[in-house]
A and B are shown apart, each in its own frame.
Chain A
Amino acid sequence: MPENTSRTVLIIEDDAFLRELAADKLRKEGYTVLEAITGEEGLEKLKELRPDLILLDLILPEMDGFEVLARIQKDEKTRPIPVMILSNFGQKADIEKGLRMGAKEYLIKAHVNPKEIVEKINALFADVK
């Protein structure tokens, strides 16, 4: 657990309860958690605070998650930060689109739980190392 303390995860999610539940779990596991409600806010925090990983929802007010992902990938400085999509869209076309656009992982909210999200994040960092 202590090895996560230096790692920061940014959650871009407009649903307060889901955001809180995921954040709770991540903090418990030693991560530093940043939260953003909209895509715009997420992009700002991203540039300013340089998290180690982004958890990204797809249905967001105004700018949707795909657009946020496109902007992250377009900017050289933010492109290396791994993005994990966390959405309730489960169609193959959406999953393929997300992965094609550069997301490292695509999780369907209703089919995972916070513990599994943390496990996926741990595994992703283990791969990066």
Chain B
Amino acid sequence: MEPFLVIAVLLLLVLAVFFGFVNERGQKTKLKKLLAEKSAIIEKTSKLLVEKNLELYDQNIRLQRSLEAKSDFVGVASHQLRTPITEIKWCVENILDGSYGPLLGTQTAQVKNLLESTKKMIRLIDELLHFVDAEAGYKEHTIALVEPEKLIGEIIDEAARHFAEKDIRVERSFAFGNTALSLDVDMIGVAITNIIENAFYYTPSGGTILISTEKKGDTFFLAIKDSGIGIAENKKENVFKKFHRSREALALHAGGVGLGLYITKNIVEQHRGEIGFESESGKGSTFHITLPIHSPPV
């Protein structure tokens, strides 16, 4: 081979390696710079994130406090209202039963109206207090092991007089047994009472209410079936909305305020349960509640 050619090839090789090396170095420096830039951005972003996080945490606490303040306010205000409203009620009842002398002419009817309005106000206050409790969630100390059938039995017994007066037959078909569930007794009591009360109000005299329980898998299942006015198809979506009352409901139970089922749904869901209903206008409604047997409320 020609020595010239060999030298030329070698030279070319050396040059190629050298430029390659320089090029690589340049790229490395560039990459390093880029990396540093990106690192700086990441650092800045994470600092920002930490700040935002703290801000959110702060806001969360403030929101929580304002929610608590709202609940406290409604709770305290409602509770404070109970004393004066009790005074009015007691006074009106004393007047009505003749403690302060006989009433004349239409006075009796008017004082009776006064008593009805007073009772309506008491119910509203009771519901507002339940509403606050249901929205505030649960306090540890109110949760206890309860046999649901026993609780339901007590509620039915307490209302027996009203059912008898209205000539409504209440049938029980209890098949769940005596397994105890971890429940907020007061709140679940309110939820079940609300549904039974609705059945009472919206079922005409001579009707029947069937209250049945059973075990469905890992859940307690309660159904309250009435032979009442039922719920029209186009009203069904509003059943659990707060302050919502249909014209039919208003006609049968003017004293209601439209919070009962909203509160009930809240309570059931906080117990990780489910609530639903089937209903046919004019034929009656069946409301059912499912509660898990093993999980405590949220």
The reply to whether the CB of B186 lies closer than 8 angstroms to some CB of chain A is: yes
The reply to whether the CB of B86 lies closer than 8 angstroms to some CB of chain A is: yes
Contact A15 B83 (CB under 8 A): yes
Q: Number of B interface residues, CB 8 Å?
A: 21
Contact B142 A93 (CB under 8 A): yes
Majority SS at the chain B contact face = helix
Interface string of B184-212 (1 = CB under 8 A from A): 01100100000000000000000000000
| A30 nearest CB across to chain B (Å) | 13
A88 and B99 contact, Cβ closer than 8 Å, known pairs A21-B94, A110-B125: no
Q: Compute how far the CA of A92 lies from the CA of B185 in the bound complex, rounded to whole angstroms.
A: 8
Contact B83 A28 (CB under 8 A): no
Contact B99 A25 (CB under 8 A): yes
Contact B90 A92 (CB under 8 A): no
CB-CB under 8 A from B90, the residues of chain A are 18, 21-22, 113-114
Contact A110 B122 (CB under 8 A): yes
CB-CB under 8 A from B99, the residues of chain A are 24-25, 28, 114
Q: Which of A94-129 contact B (CB under 8 A)?
A: 109-111, 113-115
Contact B86 A109 (CB under 8 A): yes
Other than A88-B82, A91-B186, give 8 A-B pairs with Cβ distance below 8 A. Answer: A17-B87, A18-B83, A18-B87, A21-B91, A24-B94, A110-B82, A113-B93, A114-B90
Residue of A nearest to B185 (CB): A92
CB-CB under 8 A from A90, the residues of chain B are 126
A92 and B186 contact, Cβ closer than 8 Å, known pairs A22-B90, A113-B89: yes
- Which A residues contact B (CB, under 8 angstroms)? 15, 17-18, 21-22, 24-25, 28, 88, 90-93, 109-111, 113-115
Contact A115 B93 (CB under 8 A): yes
The reply to whether the CB of B141 lies closer than 8 angstroms to some CB of chain A is: yes
Interface string of B56-99 (1 = CB under 8 A from A): 00000000000000000000000100110111011101100101
Q: Compute how far the CA of A91 lies from the CA of B79 in the bound complex, rounded to whole angstroms.
A: 12
CB-CB under 8 A from A111, the residues of chain B are 122
- Which B residues contact A (CB, under 8 angstroms)? 79, 82-83, 85-87, 89-91, 93-94, 97, 99, 122, 125-126, 141-142, 185-186, 189
Q: Compute how far the CA of A115 lies from the CA of B126 in the bound complex, rounded to whole angstroms.
A: 22
| A76 nearest CB across to chain B (Å) | 32
A18 and B141 contact, Cβ closer than 8 Å, known pairs A28-B99, A110-B122: no
| A66 nearest CB across to chain B (Å) | 16
Residue of B nearest to A57 (CB): B83
Residue of A nearest to B90 (CB): A21
| A97 nearest CB across to chain B (Å) | 11
Of A18, A22, A28, A113, the most chain B CB neighbours within 10 A belong to A113
Q: Compute how far the CA of A23 lies from the CA of B47 in the bound complex, rounded to whole angstroms.
A: 70
CB-CB under 8 A from A21, the residues of chain B are 87, 90-91, 94
- Can you report 28 residue pairs joining A to B where beta carbons are below 8 Å apart? A15-B87, A18-B86, A18-B90, A21-B87, A21-B90, A21-B91, A21-B94, A22-B90, A24-B99, A25-B94, A25-B99, A28-B99, A88-B79, A88-B86, A90-B126, A91-B142, A92-B185, A92-B189, A93-B141, A93-B142, A110-B82, A111-B122, A113-B89, A113-B90, A113-B93, A114-B90, A114-B94, A115-B93
Q: Compute how far the CA of A114 lies from the CA of B87 in the bound complex, rounded to whole angstroms.
A: 10
Of B85, B90, B122, the most chain A CB neighbours within 10 A belong to B90
CB-CB under 8 A from A28, the residues of chain B are 99
